[in-house]
Structure 1
Amino acid sequence: MRERMPFRRIGVEDAQGLLTQGALVLDVRDADSFRRARIDGAHNVSTFNLSTVIETTPKNKPVLIYCYHGNASQEYARILSDFGFLDVYSLDGGYEAWRETLRASPGVPLDDAVRLWLAENGFPAGGVNAAIDNGSTPLMKASHKGRCDIVRRLIATGAELGLKNNDGNNALWLACVGAHLDVIDALVEAGVDINNRNDNGATSLMYASSTGKAPVVERLLLAGADIAVETLDGFSALDMAATVECLTLLRAAARLRDAGAATLAAGHRA
C-alpha cells in the first residue's frame, strides 16, 4: 500500500515564498472565476483534467493548490499526496485570503511616478486595481498607452493580471491594440493569460491577426499563443488573417503544431 505523503496548509505569506521556488500552482475554482482573476501563473484544474496533472508533473515538484476559501483545495491536496507527491500545499483562506492580503499589502510601495500617473489618468490614489471607463484598470490603460515603465511598476505593486474590462479583454489585448511589443513582453513575462478570450471568444492573437499587426502576431506566437482557439462563431486567428504577413506566420505555426502532433503520435505507436 502506498504511504500517504501528508500535505501542508499554509497562509498567504508562505504561499508567496513558495511561488519564488517555482511551485506548480493549481486553481480548483470554477472556470469563470479563474478567467476573471487568479494567482499569476496558476492552472485551472478540475476532476476532468486532474489525472493529466498527476501523470505529467514530477512527484518532487512543489504544488500549491487553492480554491475559494481553503476547503476544496484540501481535498485535491489529499489526492495528490495519495499519488506520491512529496511537497503539496493547500492555501488557507483560498483566493479570497490571497486577494485581501494583496489589497492590504500591495508589495512594493507606490513611487511618486506611479502616483502621479494614476492621478493624471483619473484613477484614485493607490488604486492599482481600480476600474474606470469601460472597466479599464491602470494596468490596461498603461498597456494601451505603451508605458512599459508604468506597467512594470504596477505589476510590482500588486496589479492583478487577470482582471478584464467590460468587454472581457485583459491588459494584453490593450497592449496589442497599440502594438507595444515591449509591453507585451512584460505582461507575458509576468504571467498574463495569453489566450484570454473576451465576451466574443476572441483572443489577442485573433485581434492582431484580424488587424494585420504582423509583428504582434509574431510576438504572441513566440510566447506560445494558441492558434487553435476559435471565437463563438467558429473562427480562428488563421481564418481572420488580414494580411499576407499574418497569414504566413500563422500557417507556419500551424505546420509546426501539426508536425509536433505527428511526432508525438508516432512515438506513441513505436
Structure 2
Amino acid sequence: MTERKFQRLAVSELGAWLGANPDALILDARDANAFAAGNIETSVRLDGRNHEGLIFSTPKSRPVFIYCYRGNASQTYAQQFADFGFRNVADLVGGWEGLQKALAHRPAVDAGLATWLNNNGFSDVQTAGTHGNTPLMHAAWKGEASVVDALLAAGARVDAVNNDGNTALWLACVSNDPAIVQRIASAGADIDHANLTGATSLMYAASSSKPDIVATLLALGADPLIQTQDDFSALDMAASVECLQLLRAATRTAKQA
C-alpha cells in the first residue's frame, strides 16, 4: 500500500488550515459547471489537462489544498502533488458536498455579529485572518466580552490555534479579563494547551504579572507543574510577588496530590 503523504482535513479543520496557510494554492477538482455554480474563493479549477502544468509551475514550498465533489478524486490529485515533492498538501474529507452540508447546519450569525466580522476583516466565524488569529481570538484579545459570547453561540471553535500555536484562551489572558477567560474555558478550551514553545496560558499570565488571571486559571484547574521546552514552570516565570505567592501555593498542593 502506498503511504499517504498529504493531510486529510475535516470541514471543521479547514478554516484554521487556510488561516495558517494564506498563500495556499486552492484547487477545485470538479467539472466546469459545478465550479461556475460555486467555489471556494481564489480557487483554480483542476482537471486532467492542467494538473501537470500546475505541478511544474508551482513552487514546491507553496501549500496546496484540493477539494472535489465528495473527497475521492482530491485524494488522487493530492498524492500526485505530494509525490512530486510538495511538502504541505491537504484535501477535504467529504469534499464540496460535505462543506455545503456543514454550512447549511451552521448556527445563524445575527446582524450585529456579521457587522463586527466585516468591520474586523473576517469573512465568517471560523476563518482565520492576520497571524492565523480567528475572530474569537481577536475578540478575546480586544476584551470584547459580548462579541466573545456571540461568537461562541455561533459555533466558534475554542481549540483553533494561530501561527504561534496559541488558542483564544491565551488571547483572553492577554486582555487581562478573568470573565472572558472563564467563558472560553467553560466552552471547552484546553486550560493546559501549550503553544509552539511549550508555554501555557498560566505561564504567560505569570510572566506578564497578571495575578487575577493566574488565580482564575488555577481555579479552573490549570496545572502549575507543566514545564516548557527549557524546563521552566509557571512558578519560575512569576514576575510579581502576587503571582509568585499564588503559584507557590498551587505548586505545593499539586506536588502533594
- The TM tier, using the shorter chain, reads 0.5 to 0.7
Q: Deviations over 1:230-261 (max 9, x none)?
A: 111111101101111101000111122233x2
How far apart are 1:181 and its partner, in Å? 1.2
AA aligned opposite 2:190: D
CA contact (8 A) 2:197 2:229 kept: yes
Secondary structure in 2 aligned to 1:235?
coil
Aligned to 2:106: 106
Aligned to 1:181: 178
Counterpart-to-counterpart distance in 1, 2:253 and 2:159: 29
With the length of structure 2 as denominator, give the TM-score of the two structures: 0.61
Q: Is 1:159–2:156 an aligned residue pair?
A: yes
Alignment coverage as a number of residue pairs:
166
How far apart are 1:104 and its partner, in Å? 3.7
Q: Deviations over 1:154-196 (max 9, x none)?
A: 1111111110000000001101011011110110111111111
Secondary structure in 2 aligned to 1:197?
coil
Find the structure with the greater CA-based Rg: 2
Q: Sort the Cα spacing of 1:236 and 1:102 in 2 relative to 1 into closer, same or farther, 3 A.
A: farther
Over 6 Å off, 4+ runs: none
Q: Deviations over 1:190-213 (max 9, x none)?
A: 111111111100000000000111
AA aligned opposite 1:129: Q
Counterpart-to-counterpart distance in 2, 1:258 and 1:131: 39
AA aligned opposite 1:198: N
CA contact (8 A) 1:102 1:158 kept: no
How far apart are 1:103 and its partner, in Å? 4.0
Q: Is 1:208–2:188 an aligned residue pair?
A: no
Q: Deviations over 1:83-124 (max 9, x none)?
A: xxxxxxxxxxxxx67x955444222x1111100100110111
Aligned to 1:226: 223
Q: Is 1:196–2:190 an aligned residue pair?
A: no
User: CA RMSD, aligned part only?
Assistant: 2.2
Counterpart-to-counterpart distance in 1, 2:158 and 2:142: 17
Which 5+ residue runs of structure 1 have no aligned equivalent?
Answer: 1-32, 38-95, 262-270
CA contact (8 A) 1:145 1:178 kept: yes
Q: Sort the Cα spacing of 1:129 and 1:208 in 2 relative to 1 into closer, same or farther, 3 A.
A: same
Match of 2:254 among 251, 254, 257: 257
Aligned to 2:114: 115
Counterpart-to-counterpart distance in 2, 1:245 and 1:183: 21
Counterpart-to-counterpart distance in 1, 2:221 and 2:204: 16
Secondary structure in 2 aligned to 1:231?
coil
Aligned to 1:83: none
Counterpart-to-counterpart distance in 2, 1:246 and 1:114: 36
With the length of structure 1 as denominator, give the TM-score of the two structures: 0.58
Q: Is 1:248–2:245 an aligned residue pair?
A: yes
Secondary structure in 2 aligned to 1:194?
coil
Counterpart-to-counterpart distance in 1, 2:250 and 2:153: 33
Which 5+ residue runs of structure 2 have no aligned equivalent?
Answer: 1-8, 14-92
Matches within 5 A, 1:1-270: 100=99, 102-107=102-107, 109-124=108-123, 127-259=124-256, 261=257
Percentage identity across paired residues of the two chains: 46
Q: Sort the Cα spacing of 1:103 and 1:164 in 2 relative to 1 into closer, same or farther, 3 A.
A: farther
